[in-house]
Amino acid sequence: MRDNKLWVFLHAPRTGGTTVLKYIMQTAPRGEILIPSNVRYGFEKKSFDKSKIKYILGHASYYGIDKEFPKKETFYFTFLRDPAARIISLYNEKFKDYPKSKVIPFDKWYTSQPKNELVRFYGLKSKGSESSHIKIPRFISPLVKLFKGKYKMFNFILTNFRRIQSPLSEKDLNKAKNLLDKCYFVGIIENAKEDSKFLFDLMNLNCPEWKYSSTYKKKLVTTTDEIRKKIYKDNPLDYELYRYAWELNKKQKETLGLEMHPQKMKRSSKDKK
C-alpha cells in the first residue's frame, strides 16, 4: 500500500530546525520534499506532483497547508528551544561575520528586540501565515527574490516592522498552546538526540544521529544564569510556552511510543492487572 502520509514541519527560527530539515533532505528523495518558501519566492518551480509530496519543510509552512493536499493524512510537528538559548543563538548568528568594530554589544541589541517571539510565531502559523515574524502580504514576495544576495537589507526592513507590533497577551499564549496540542509531535532541542530519533522513527526515516555542532567559529555571547533570568522575565509568555511544550513532549512520547511498540502496550496492560 502506498504511503499517503504528509509530514508538515512548523519551523520556528533558531530552534535547531535547520538540522532537522538537513537530515530529512539527506534521507528522503528530493521529489517527496516541498519547501514552500522556495516556491513562493521563485527559487523553485511552482509545479510539482502533490501525490508524491511527503514532507513540507522550511519557515513558510503553516497550520492548514494540508488543505492543499486533501488526499493526504497529515501530521504536524515542531521543535521548541529554551527562550534564553534561542535569543543568544539569534545574536550569535546575526553578528558571526561582522568585524569586531561593528558588533553591537548584546545588552544594547537585546533591548531593541521584540519580546515573546515564539508565541507570536505559533500565533501566525495558527492563522495560516507563511511568515515567521510578521504577516507579510503576498505582493511583497517578489521583493524577496529581488533582495537575494542582500539579506541584511531585507532583514533590516523586517526587523523594524517587528518592533512596532503590539504586545502579546495570555490570549495569544493560549492560541500558541492550542496549536502545539494539534501537533502530532512536539520536540525539544535541549533533548534533540532523543527527540530527533523518536521523530525519525515515527516517520520511518533512517536519519543520522543528531550531532551538536556550532556554526560559529567563536560565540560572541554565552548563556549565563544572569542573562537567562532576565530573558525569562522579559519573555514570560515564551517561557510558559516552553514549559508547556516539555509537558506535552513527555505525554506524546509515552503515547506514541506505545503505538510504535505494541508489545510494550501488552506488557503495560498486564502490569496493571
pTM of the model: 0.83
Q: How many domains does the chain have?
A: 1
Of 93 and 219, the structure prediction assigns the larger pLDDT to 93
State the pLDDT at residue 50: 87
Residue pLDDT, tens place only, 149-169: 454 555 555 555 555 567 899
**Closest by alpha carbon to 209, among 218, 198, 220?**
198
Which band of pLDDT confidence, cut at 50, 70 and 90, is reported for residue 266?
A: very low
**Residues of the chain above pLDDT 70, percent:** 75
**Closest by alpha carbon to 221, among 133, 110, 101?**
110
Residue pLDDT, tens place only, 191-231: 999 999 999 999 999 999 998 755 555 678 988 999 999 99
Which band of pLDDT confidence, cut at 50, 70 and 90, is reported for residue 270?
A: very low
Residue pLDDT, tens place only, 41-62: 555 656 678 899 999 999 999 9
- The CATH number linked to 79 is 3.40.50
By residue range, what is the domain housing residue 27? 5-272
Which band of pLDDT confidence, cut at 50, 70 and 90, is reported for residue 133?
A: low
H-type alpha helices, the chain: 17-27, 36-40, 83-95, 106-111, 117-126, 141-146, 151-163, 170-182, 192-203, 225-234, 236-260, 262-272
**Residues of the chain above pLDDT 90, percent:** 62
State the pLDDT at residue 159: 56
